[in-house]
Amino acid sequence: MAPSRTIVAMGGGGFSMEPDNPLLDDFIMSLAGADRPRVCFLPTASGDADAYVVKFYSAFTSRAEASHLPLFNRTASDIDGMLLGQHVIYVGGGNTENMLAIWRTHGVDRILRRAWEAGVVLAGLSAGSICWFEAGTTDSFGPDLAVLTDGLGLLPGSHCPHYDGEAQRRTSYHRLVAEGRLPAGYAADDGAALVFDGTELREVVASRPAASAYRVDAVDGAARETRLPARYLGD
pTM of the model: 0.96
In the set 16, 46, 126, 158, the catalytic residue is 126
Count of CB atoms within 10 A of residue 198's CB? 15
Percent of the chain with pLDDT over 90: 91
The pLDDT score that the predictor gives to residue 185 is 98
23 pLDDT band, cuts 50/70/90, is: very high
**Mean pLDDT value across residues 34-56:** 97
- 162 assigned to active site: yes
Mean pLDDT of the chain: 96
Active site annotation includes 126: yes
For the chain, the domains span 6-232
Report pLDDT digits (tens) over 59-107: 999 999 999 999 999 888 899 999 999 999 999 999 999 999 999 999 9
- Identify the pLDDT of residue 2: 60
Instruction: Report residue 142's pLDDT band, with 50, 70 and 90 as the boundaries.
Output: confident
Asked if 127 and 96 count as a contact pair (C-beta separation under 8 A), the reply is yes
Rounded Cα distance, 92 and 55, in Å: 11
Catalytic residue (choose from 68, 159, 162, 174): 162
| For residue 1, pLDDT beyond 70 | no
State how beta strands 121-125 and 88-91 pair: parallel
State residue 76's pLDDT score.
Answer: 85
pLDDT digits (tens, 9 = 90+) for 25-37: 999 999 999 999 9
The fold of 6-232 is Rossmann fold (3.40.50)
